[in-house]
Amino acid sequence: MRSRLIRSGLASLAAVALTTVVAGCGSDSSDTTSAGAEGSAISAARCAENKAAGPITYLSGYQYQSSASILEYIAAAKLGYFKDLCLDVTLKPGTGDTAQNTKLLASGQATVSPIAEQDVIQARANGIDITGISSYSNAGLEILMTNKDITKLTQLDGKVVGHKGYVPATVEAMLVKAGVDWKSLKLVKQGYDPSVLPRRQGGLAALTGFVSNEPNQLKAAGHDVTVWKPIDYGVPSSLGAMAVNPAFAKAHPHAVEDILRAALHAYAYCTASPAHISECVGHAAALAGPTYDTKLNTTIWKTETQVVKDNPVSGQPLGGLDPANVKGIVDMLHRFGIIPASVTGAKAEAWFDGSYVKNVYNGDKLVWPAP
């Protein structure tokens, strides 16, 4: 299975101790951001039910990076939202290895984790039992960058394209749809320094990356590049998608709903104003340690939430799943031989359950407090 690689520019965070924070079992007396007493946003009966669910482990996608699907979970812990719903949640930082996260999720060593929809499909196709439960957008983070002299993708024919281990399927699909002669490309593995593109190291003409990371790094360094987004070419993907351990979800469906409820409530808080953004990123920085790049992570959060705002899932509230998008991803993965033909769109659709998100909304309004 292909794994999402660690994003460049933040590799230094890997050396930080794997800090954990527990919410729902009391809080530091110096923490003044807690929303209220335990159970303050839930009925007594449902509070008892959530307590009975026991310890819940949230495993991030990559460290405590301020990405959608990470920062709001940190905020839900630090703002006391998990405690308000009687949830005993421990945050643990992932390494950026999606394949590892899916295995930890399937084994029960993690309860919930950010897993892209296409990675859920690939995991299930490989016998790894996880369930997709939400997604913020059908637009993905993977992009291609070029210098300004490239004004159309077909100019890349015969040129050198850099990547971090493999070219994401969404980027490959975009290039093919744009008419690029894929076989003519010279694919070269690069490191995690995006400045190799403006320096044209090794004749580099294009470089893969993530829309919220490398382009922002290059802009901050004074390098202006063109960002090519698969979503602009109708290529399906996902952003901020979450998955759950199926056994836990079956045994404790209301706890799963309330994990999402707390995260969505925190997402709204962390996007409400510049002050709230700064506060939420500050919580992540406190967990990560002194090497955390607060400025870059603030930009990452702003960029990703803007992508979500610009590309909402049609007909769904924030977090709602789009079955048509799942089927579109299956078609794309078939095209590149990533999953077997036996994985049909209908089969893959059954690997996702949108009821958890649906049940935390009244129409398009998040229900808070909980029932």
What's the whole-model pTM score? 0.88
CA distances from 279 to 54, 92, 154, 272 (A): 29, 20, 44, 11
Q: Which CATH superfamily is domain 142-233 in?
A: Periplasmic binding protein-like II (3.40.190.10)
Q: Is residue 142 within a helix (H) or strand (E), and if so which, with residue range?
A: strand 142-146
In 3-state terms, what secondary structure has residue 300? Answer: helix
Q: Is residue 290 within 8 Å of 13, Cβ to Cβ?
A: no
Strand boundaries in 236-360, DSSP class E: 242-244
pLDDT at position 191 is 82
Q: Is residue 350 within 8 Å of 323, Cβ to Cβ?
A: no
Q: What CATH number labels 11-139+238-366?
A: 3.40.190.10
Let me know how long the chain is: 371
State the first-to-last Cα distance of the chain, in angstroms, to the nearest integer: 40
pLDDT at position 263 is 98
pLDDT at position 167 is 93
Which residues, including other chains, have CB under 8 Å from residue 59's CB and lie 6 or more apart? 92, 93, 94, 101, 104, 105, 110, 112, 113
**Torsion sign, CA atoms 101, 105, 108, 113:** positive
Q: What is the pLDDT tens value at each position of the chain, 371 positions in all?
A: 333 333 333 333 333 333 333 343 333 322 334 456 899 999 999 999 999 999 999 999 999 999 999 999 999 999 999 999 999 999 999 998 999 999 999 999 999 999 999 999 999 999 999 999 999 999 999 999 999 999 999 999 999 999 988 899 999 999 999 999 999 999 999 988 999 999 999 999 999 999 999 999 999 999 999 999 999 999 999 999 999 999 999 999 999 999 999 999 999 999 999 999 999 999 999 999 999 999 999 999 999 999 999 999 999 999 999 999 999 999 999 999 999 999 999 999 999 999 999 999 999 999 999 99
Q: Return the amino acid letter for 286.
A: A
| Spatial separation of the C-alpha atoms in residues 174 and 331, rounded to whole Å | 14
Ranges for all domains in the chain classified under CATH 3.40.190.10: 11-139+238-366, 142-233
| Spatial separation of the C-alpha atoms in residues 109 and 308, rounded to whole Å | 29
Instruction: Classify strands 55-59 and 88-92 as parallel, antiparallel or unpaired.
Output: parallel
